[in-house]
Chain A
Amino acid sequence: MIDIIMTSIITFFILAGAFLAAVSAIGVIRLPDVYTRLHASSKSSTLGVMMMMLGAFLYFWFVDGYVDSKLFLAVLFIFITAPVSAHMLSRSAFHSNISPYRMTVINELARDEEGAIELPNEPEEHEHKEDE
């Protein structure tokens, strides 16, 4: 009985990891833009690899009786580094003037950076109006 339960849990984790890897590959191929591709690859392949590591941990624990903490270390490392690398890549792409897809509705970073440049000029205009 415990064989069936553990095998089904390991099967679920491994197949879910492979499914999320396939989803990330489809997203990287099909999406139109560097930012959307980054979204697909960063989120789903990270979760897929984490599920695959959990499946490998349970597999080695159940089949070989070997508890390996390096797999949890790999999960922790991916959990820390994947958002950092995705953020650095998207920031680099934005500052390299790669324009988003043409149907993008709102671009908040461009709006904020232009607003930060225009804000110091507004009080001077009011002062000039008061002087006149």
Chain B
Amino acid sequence: MNTFLDVIIIVSIIILALSMIGMVYRMVKGPTLHDKVVALDAFGVLLMAMIALIAMRLDTTYLLVVILLIGILAFISTIAFAKFLERGVIIDNDRHYND
């Protein structure tokens, strides 16, 4: 049974690697800068799944902390990019900007 699960994990790693190559294609070619940020966010989310698969393949549980770390970094980088692309600043003190 364990060999069957190993085959399933390797097949999933291959599928995720191809998906991440697709995200990198959109990250390089995207027409606007927002497309690139969308692809970067999706790349971070897929990287979390990839690390879970690699932890299963290597039979270690030490890699599971990395999942949380990458999730937090991807979220903060996406929020920072969104605010920077919208207003040109990341931390703004003017709370009535839209008025």
Contact = CB atoms under 8 A, between A and B. Distances in A.
B61 A60 contact: yes
B23 to A, nearest CB: 6
A91 B26 contact: no
B93 interface: no
Interface residues of B, number: 49
A45 B38 contact: no
A117 to B, nearest CB: 12
B53 to A, nearest CB: 7
Contacts of A77: 68, 71-72, 75
Interface residues of A, number: 55
Main secondary structure of the interface of A (DSSP, over half): helix
A82 B46 CA distance: 12
Given A45-B45, A73-B68, A88 B82 contact: yes
Contact of A41 (B2, B16, B39, B75): B39
Interface string B57-99: 0010100110110011001001101110110000000000000
Contact of B12 (A15, A73, A78, A86): A15
A89 B82 contact: yes
Nearest to B41: A85
A63 B52 CA distance: 15
Given A14-B9, A95-B86, A52 B19 contact: no
25 contacts: A3-B1, A10-B5, A11-B4, A11-B5, A17-B49, A18-B16, A19-B15, A21-B15, A21-B16, A21-B46, A34-B34, A37-B38, A41-B38, A45-B45, A49-B48, A49-B49, A53-B67, A56-B56, A68-B61, A74-B68, A85-B82, A86-B41, A88-B82, A91-B82, A96-B86
Q: 3 nearest interchain CB pairs?
A: A25-B19, A41-B42, A25-B22
